[in-house]
Amino acid sequence: MSYKKEGETGHHRFISRRGFMAQSGLTAAAFGLAPPFWRESSADLPELKPGFVAPQYYGSEEENALLEVLESGSPFRYYGPGTPDKVKSFEDASANYMGTLYALGVTSGTAALDCAITGLGIGPGDEVIVPAYTWWSDYTCVVQAGALPVFADIDRSLCVDPEDFARKITSRTKALIAVHLLGGPCDMDPILETARKRGIKILEDAAQCVGGSYHGRKLGSIGDVGIYSFQLHKMISSGAGGALVSRDPEIFERAVRFHDMGGLRDVFRDRIGGEHLSRFAGENFRMSEFTGAVLGAQLPKLDTMIRELRENAGAVREGIKGLPGIRMRKRPDPEGDNGYAIYFELGNKQLRDRCISELRTRGIPTSTLTGSILLPIRESVINKQARHPSWPSFNSPEGKAIRYGPDSCRQTLEVFDRFVQVRIGPKYTEAMNDRIVDSIREVYTLVT
């Protein structure tokens, strides 16, 4: 199975807006002057489909690695009739790629977060600062540890606002979960400065930006501990799966023990040079060899995925940057994005909604921000529902006092309401990028 840059497969074939106009003998002026006419005609244009990224790169490498696991009869990473090494090789390759010392493969990004929070020694009485807009797992991992989640707003980077992070710190704050959301890095320099000054640990959640970087360092390797997800929506994927990285042997040992019923096997004892902790009650989040096989084959393709996405995202950004007054997403390190989508901001929600519907009419994959949850306004969060009514998170004096809801995240709600997301596909052709540029230029002029 192979994929070419030019979209020759059926569902990728389409005619560009220029081609469409040429075929129908229309001029750009005709479109500019008659949007209703355009709307009718554009029903003929197939929707652009960016697709899930990872499966577009599946090939013989994944196939052969999976067959090796089948043929060896050793799907369990720690022993079997053969000599299982897929998960271990993937861990070694990940630590190397991310520029960190240790990596651990687990069953999901959520499991990796549970291990990371355990690794940091977080528990009842502690507070952890979490962005108000992110995936559920960044909230649930804190609650599962019996600690209290405290929300900080996001800013125009769509990631946590470093100033609001600083404002939310109390004497009980143990960590910030710095989530590199929607394919872009957090502004790590001010975050690290505050964290160092106040003695707060940084857990980087790079689930939505696997392979991204900040000032030359790979995301996940910058803070005290980092996590990745390999679920279908993420960059490299085995359907489900996750990993944790750290350069701290004690954080790593605690995370490893948590993922494997509290034990520490030789492979990890070798990696961290002995053991520093005793056994405690853990979970089973062990990665299977099948998962390790697919991820081991995917990792060497990650740079290509990112390069192709970045090229297409760059072409679209370049094509619309001259639009008068256009406000693009703030990018703390423009070199570090993974090119998953492009983002721009409109004056208010009404304009934003109109822009989205006009772009959709033209077959452009456009939406509000996607893939995460406005956590503080969700009912189960407002009502502080944990797995048991006596769960420690919300039964401390601080847990009883804290109020979630819209007033706890006004800036996040405003940012969310103003942004437009246009997905980028790694296999888009130049003509597809042009079609997106032309449509955004047209719609932006129409609505502003």
Ligand X SMILES: *Cc1c(COP(=O)(O)O)cnc(C)c1O
**Contacting residues toward ligand X, per CB under 6 A:** 108-110, 134-135, 137-138, 179, 205, 207-208, 229, 231, 242, 371
CB atoms within 10 A of CB 82: 14
Query: Closest approach of Cβ 135 to ligand X, in Å?
Result: 4
Q: Please say which residue, 237 or 393, places its beta carbon nearer to ligand X.
A: 237
CB atoms within 10 A of CB 382: 15
223: Cβ contacts below 8 Å, ≥ 6 apart: 178, 188, 192, 195, 201, 202, 203, 204
Q: Please say which residue, 220 or 363, places its beta carbon nearer to ligand X.
A: 220
Q: Please say which residue, 205 or 337, places its beta carbon nearer to ligand X.
A: 205
Query: Closest approach of Cβ 371 to ligand X, in Å?
Result: 6
Query: Closest approach of Cβ 198 to ligand X, in Å?
Result: 24
Query: Closest approach of Cβ 241 to ligand X, in Å?
Result: 7
What is the DSSP pairing of strand 373-374 with strand 133-134? Answer: antiparallel
Q: Please say which residue, 362 or 423, places its beta carbon nearer to ligand X.
A: 423
Q: Please say which residue, 373 or 402, places its beta carbon nearer to ligand X.
A: 373
Query: Closest approach of Cβ 372 to ligand X, in Å?
Result: 7
Q: Please say which residue, 14 or 139, places its beta carbon nearer to ligand X.
A: 139
SS3 per residue for the chain: CCCCCCCCCHHHCCCCHHHHHHHHCCCHHHHHHCHHHHHHHHCCCCCCCCCCCHHHHCCHHHHHHHHHHHHHCCCCCCCCCCCCCHHHHHHHHHHHHHCCCEEEEECCHHHHHHHHHHHCCCCCCCEEEEECEECHHHHHHHHHCCCEEEEECECCCCCECHHHHHHCCCCCEEEEEEECCCCCCCCHHHHHHHHHHHCCEEEEECCCCCCCEECCEECCCCCCEEEEECECCCCCCCECCEEEEECCHHHHHHHHHHHECCCCCHHHHHHHCCCCCCCCCCCECECCHHHHHHHHHHHHHHHHHHHHHHHHHHHHHHHHCCCCCCEECCCCCCCCCCCCEEEEECCCHHHHHHHHHHHHHCCCCEECCCCCEEHHHCHHHHCCCCCCCCCHHHCCHHHHHCCCCHHHCHHHHHHHHHEEEEECCCCCCHHHHHHHHHHHHHHHHHHC
Query: Closest approach of Cβ 106 to ligand X, in Å?
Result: 9
The CA dihedral of 72, 73, 77, 83, to the nearest 10 degrees, is -40
Instruction: Give residue number: closest CB to ligand X.
Output: 109
Q: Please say which residue, 111 or 346, places its beta carbon nearer to ligand X.
A: 111
Query: Closest approach of Cβ 180 to ligand X, in Å?
Result: 8
Query: Closest approach of Cβ 286 to ligand X, in Å?
Result: 15
Q: Please say which residue, 21 or 207, places its beta carbon nearer to ligand X.
A: 207
Query: Closest approach of Cβ 370 to ligand X, in Å?
Result: 10
Q: Please say which residue, 205 or 248, places its beta carbon nearer to ligand X.
A: 205
Query: Closest approach of Cβ 208 to ligand X, in Å?
Result: 4
Q: Please say which residue, 209 or 440, places its beta carbon nearer to ligand X.
A: 209
Token pair belonging to 351: 């304009």
